[in-house]
Chains A and B, each alone.
Chain A
Amino acid sequence: MNLEQYLGLFIDESKENLQILNDNLLKLEKAPASTEILNEIFRVAHTFKGMSRTMGFNNIADLTHNMENLLEPLRSGKKQADGKIVDILFSCLDKLENLVDSVIEKGTENKDNLVNELVEKLKAVINSESSEQSNISVGQKMEFNEYDRAVIDEALSQGLIPKEITVSIANECVLPGVRSYMVNSVLENMGEIIKYCPTVEEIESGVFLQTNDSQYVIKVLLATKEDTEEIKNKLLDISEIANVEVINVSSLAQKAENLSEDASSKIITVEETEANEENKKEDGAQVQKGISKVANQTIRVNSGRLDILMNLVGELVINKTRVFQLSRDLANHDLINAAGFMENITGEIQEIVMKLRLVPIDQVFNRFPRLVRDISKSLNKDVNLVIKGKEIEIDRAVIDEIGDPLVHLIRNSLDHGLETPEDRIKKDKPAKGTIELSALSEGDNILIRISDDGRGIDPEKIKKKAIDKGFITQETARSMSENEIFDLIFKAGFSTVEVATDLSGRGVGMDVVKSKVSTLGGTASISSKVDKGTTVTITLPSTMAIIQALLVKTGNETYALPLNYINEVIDIPAAQVKKIQNREVITVRDKTIPLMRVAELLETPDYEEDSEKPLTVVIVRSHDRYCGLSVSELIGQQEIVIKPINKKLCSENFISGATTLGNGDVAFILNINTLI
């Protein structure tokens, strides 16, 4: 069987299951006796076992199998989960993640000795508790006591024929006990069963007769009127029955001989541990129903297909605009109506497609409780992690990318932001620190905030460091606002190890965080109060790919400006442009803001400055910073589809992408964040 094709699904479900496992282990730590949680953990381990065995990932299967064994006595209440057990389960989870990761990377699981170590550990814990397992000793021969003989005589007198039936169950059968049960059910209907060898109890606990060819053999003495062939056929109708022999037993003496003569028969014990534990497991599994969450009514779609759909809808939106334009030009009333109707529908399709790509931000947030638990444990800090707004939905593309920056920020908060419990008590703060991770939607943007109530950052120290490093001069430092100062932290090369200790460690790799957020079309900022705490805010667009934009013309080039950055558009007489420190500025409502001429900035060809004409200035805003962009002419507002553009083609990152316009021309999309 070619299993390659299932790999994707295996990985998807494994990830989900790992997450459930993670969540429930965290819960288990707080409520170690909850059968509900234990059942859920057990179910995940069980599902894992089944899937991974099918895929041939035996390490995962072995590990989860032993997890089940460990969970069993916990579930049945024979044992209480203690810290040690939870820790082991956590390390199992880590190992599983590890193994699944290797499956994701290479399509096969790593050969890993640590798995065996873990399995041994698990076994050790299991065995320390449940040593009451005992082997069942089985007699080699079927012996007839007084009662048996009486029954046989009775049967004979009723005209029944005692038959000795030897059933060999296929060696590859996994649950021979169940097959024996099925054999029993068939025979029960055909006559009277006088004797089993081995006994029913022995069969149930996995004990069978064994011959050279077959591991699982049972012999039954049946008093019946049925034809030998009929018995054979009925039994062979059961799956996994390899062979059936039926011998008429004419006399009791002969019978006894037949059964005992079988010299090659010997008794073996099969998986007695497993078989005995089954019974207990089953009891627990019953309790399980009704506990798990209702499965969502969802279907899985390959994200590649979604992207294609997205792109097609993008094209549709562009062409819709074109049809609408044409219908206006032709001034045909019916056509305009029809085009208007189409526009509405297209709008709805677009909205739906955008929503298809949205996933709850919980998919990123859900890994943090564990992260915080582990780090705070290792740092000996007591931390309360508050997560808010995990239901907020955000574009899938963002989800995949934002995880690492957030991990980094949370690590920083834990490591350097929060003080040790002793220090906190000295400062009259509660010994337990709080980190709050929240998401909220604000217009078209999603805000993600990571706040702590730790020691905060002293802006003066940052200033000093920035001056030392030569990022800023004494002079500029004096005129800088607090926001600008904190922004220095995001500068590449600002953070070093010694700064890290001086300044609560913030800044380690913060430039990486900032640049990651920028590539997602978002921004990051820091605010902090000494001894009160620090908040990092990340603003991200909630949907990507299709945006509202203002199209402007400069020279012969058309550019698109994302609408959510635009504050206003004004005309300003050329004479009102002033110069401060060699930079052009304009004053808008008593506010002085820098002016940039798009044509100069981007070296637009065929651009001629008309110094008489008033300037058309688009005021853009990003994170409380304003900037005026002077353009030749406004074209209008339009929805555009962002098509990625090779980064190497855009110098200074002033261009964030390109789009095709209704008339087929290509327009560049200006990256406001880098312009400002």
Chain B
Amino acid sequence: MTKVLIVDDAAFMRMILKDILSKAGYEIVGEAANGNEALDHYNKSKPDLVTMDITMPECDGVTALKNIMASNPAANVIMCSAMGQQAMVIESIQAGAKDFIVKPFQPQRVLEAVKKLVG
């Protein structure tokens, strides 16, 4: 089963994503509430895919993405952004994020993005 790590500071958002993904048959191997936790989890659970929120306390998503890419250049990371974070999203794509999804999440759109990456 494809393993997914969900990173978002809002438990609410994590739950939404978790539901969408687990209903579609993905295995959620971890959740992280900030970028530092995300890196720890990433190294621990070696997920096939990470969904990464951009605005988070302590260590934001872009920094976390860069850290993850540094530890595994082949990492599959999808950024989660709210409307109006264009520059941040572009920076993430430059840094190696494979795709992005925008809140509010459309289940179909989320799954489309995930499928494109990890099948």
Nearest residue in B to A40 (C-beta to C-beta)? B57
B88 at interface by CB-CB < 8 Å: yes
Residues of B contacting A172 in the complex (Cβ-Cβ under 8 angstroms): 106, 109
User: Do B10 and A281 have beta carbons less than 8 Å apart?
Assistant: no
| Bound Cα distance from A105 to B116, whole angstroms | 41
B39 at interface by CB-CB < 8 Å: no
User: Do B84 and A292 have beta carbons less than 8 Å apart?
Assistant: no
| With A9-B12, A277-B84, A290-B59: A54-B90 Cβ-Cβ less than 8 Å | no
| With A6-B16, A174-B83: A50-B100 Cβ-Cβ less than 8 Å | no
User: Do A182 and B81 have beta carbons less than 8 Å apart?
Assistant: no
| Bound Cα distance from A434 to B15, whole angstroms | 45
Nearest residue in A to B89 (C-beta to C-beta)? A178
User: Do B86 and A292 have beta carbons less than 8 Å apart?
Assistant: no
A274-291 interface (Cβ within 8 A of B): 274-275, 277-279, 281-282, 285-286, 288-291
B84-105 interface (Cβ within 8 A of A): 84-91, 93, 99-100, 102-105
Residues of B contacting A281 in the complex (Cβ-Cβ under 8 angstroms): 84-85, 87
8 Å CB contact of B112 from A10, A239, A278, A279 = A239
Instruction: State the total of A-B contacts with C-beta under 8 angstroms.
Output: 124
Least distance between B25 CB and chain A CB atoms (Å) = 17
Residues of A contacting B19 in the complex (Cβ-Cβ under 8 angstroms): 5
| Bound Cα distance from A294 to B53, whole angstroms | 17
| With A9-B15, A54-B13, A295-B9: A290-B58 Cβ-Cβ less than 8 Å | yes
Encode contact with A along B1-32: 1 for CB under 8 Å, 0 otherwise: 00000000111110110011000000000000
Residues of B contacting A293 in the complex (Cβ-Cβ under 8 angstroms): 57
Least distance between A660 CB and chain B CB atoms (Å) = 38
A512 at interface by CB-CB < 8 Å: no
User: Do A274 and B58 have beta carbons less than 8 Å apart?
Assistant: no
| With A46-B82, A50-B104: A278-B87 Cβ-Cβ less than 8 Å | yes
Residues of A contacting B83 in the complex (Cβ-Cβ under 8 angstroms): 49, 53, 174-175, 274
B60 at interface by CB-CB < 8 Å: yes
Least distance between A291 CB and chain B CB atoms (Å) = 7
Least distance between B65 CB and chain A CB atoms (Å) = 13
A251-304 interface (Cβ within 8 A of B): 274-275, 277-279, 281-282, 285-286, 288-295, 300
Residues of B contacting A54 in the complex (Cβ-Cβ under 8 angstroms): 12-13, 16, 103-105
Least distance between B56 CB and chain A CB atoms (Å) = 8
8 Å CB contact of B86 from A177, A240, A285 = A177
Residues of A contacting B105 in the complex (Cβ-Cβ under 8 angstroms): 54
Nearest residue in A to B62 (C-beta to C-beta)? A286
User: Do B15 and A289 have beta carbons less than 8 Å apart?
Assistant: no
A197-251 interface (Cβ within 8 A of B): 204, 237-240
Nearest residue in B to A181 (C-beta to C-beta)? B90
User: Do A300 and B11 have beta carbons less than 8 Å apart?
Assistant: yes
| Bound Cα distance from A68 to B85, whole angstroms | 12
8 Å CB contact of A10 from B12, B86, B106, B107 = B12
Encode contact with B along A1-27: 1 for CB under 8 Å, 0 otherwise: 100011001100100000000000000
Residues of A contacting B59 in the complex (Cβ-Cβ under 8 angstroms): 289-290
User: Do A289 and B63 have beta carbons less than 8 Å apart?
Assistant: yes
Least distance between A168 CB and chain B CB atoms (Å) = 16
- Count A-side interface residues using an 8 Å CB cutoff: 47
Residues of B contacting A204 in the complex (Cβ-Cβ under 8 angstroms): 86
User: Do A178 and B84 have beta carbons less than 8 Å apart?
Assistant: no
User: Do A51 and B102 have beta carbons less than 8 Å apart?
Assistant: no
Residues of A contacting B89 in the complex (Cβ-Cβ under 8 angstroms): 175, 178
Residues of B contacting A289 in the complex (Cβ-Cβ under 8 angstroms): 35, 56-60, 63
Least distance between B50 CB and chain A CB atoms (Å) = 16
Residues of B contacting A564 in the complex (Cβ-Cβ under 8 angstroms): none
User: Do A274 and B16 have beta carbons less than 8 Å apart?
Assistant: no
| Bound Cα distance from A46 to B82, whole angstroms | 8
Residues of B contacting A68 in the complex (Cβ-Cβ under 8 angstroms): 84
Least distance between A123 CB and chain B CB atoms (Å) = 16
A43 at interface by CB-CB < 8 Å: yes
B51 at interface by CB-CB < 8 Å: no
User: Do B81 and A175 have beta carbons less than 8 Å apart?
Assistant: yes
Residues of B contacting A56 in the complex (Cβ-Cβ under 8 angstroms): 104
Residues of A contacting B100 in the complex (Cβ-Cβ under 8 angstroms): 175, 178, 239
User: Do A175 and B102 have beta carbons less than 8 Å apart?
Assistant: yes
Residues of B contacting A9 in the complex (Cβ-Cβ under 8 angstroms): 11-12, 15
Least distance between A478 CB and chain B CB atoms (Å) = 63
| Bound Cα distance from A293 to B109, whole angstroms | 33
Residues of A contacting B38 in the complex (Cβ-Cβ under 8 angstroms): none
User: Do A292 and B85 have beta carbons less than 8 Å apart?
Assistant: no
| With A47-B10, A239-B113: A288-B86 Cβ-Cβ less than 8 Å | no
User: Do A51 and B87 have beta carbons less than 8 Å apart?
Assistant: no
| Bound Cα distance from A178 to B60, whole angstroms | 19
Q: Which of A239, A274, A285 has the most CB of B within 10 A?
A: A239
B32-90 interface (Cβ within 8 A of A): 33-35, 54-60, 62-63, 81-90
A185 at interface by CB-CB < 8 Å: yes
Nearest residue in B to A49 (C-beta to C-beta)? B82
User: Do A291 and B57 have beta carbons less than 8 Å apart?
Assistant: yes
Nearest residue in B to A273 (C-beta to C-beta)? B84
Nearest residue in B to A182 (C-beta to C-beta)? B93
Chosen A-B contacts, 28 in total, with CB atoms closer than 8 Å, are: A5-B19, A6-B15, A43-B57, A47-B9, A47-B10, A50-B104, A54-B105, A56-B104, A172-B106, A174-B83, A175-B81, A175-B86, A177-B86, A178-B90, A181-B90, A181-B93, A239-B99, A239-B116, A278-B84, A278-B85, A279-B86, A285-B54, A285-B55, A288-B57, A289-B57, A293-B57, A295-B57, A295-B58
**A-side interface residues toward B, CB under 8 Å?**
1, 5-6, 9-10, 13, 43, 46-47, 49-51, 53-54, 56, 68, 172, 174-175, 177-178, 181-182, 185, 204, 237-240, 274-275, 277-279, 281-282, 285-286, 288-295, 300
* Given A68-B84, A295-B58, 5 additional A-B pairs, CB 8 A: A50-B10, A56-B104, A185-B93, A275-B84, A278-B88
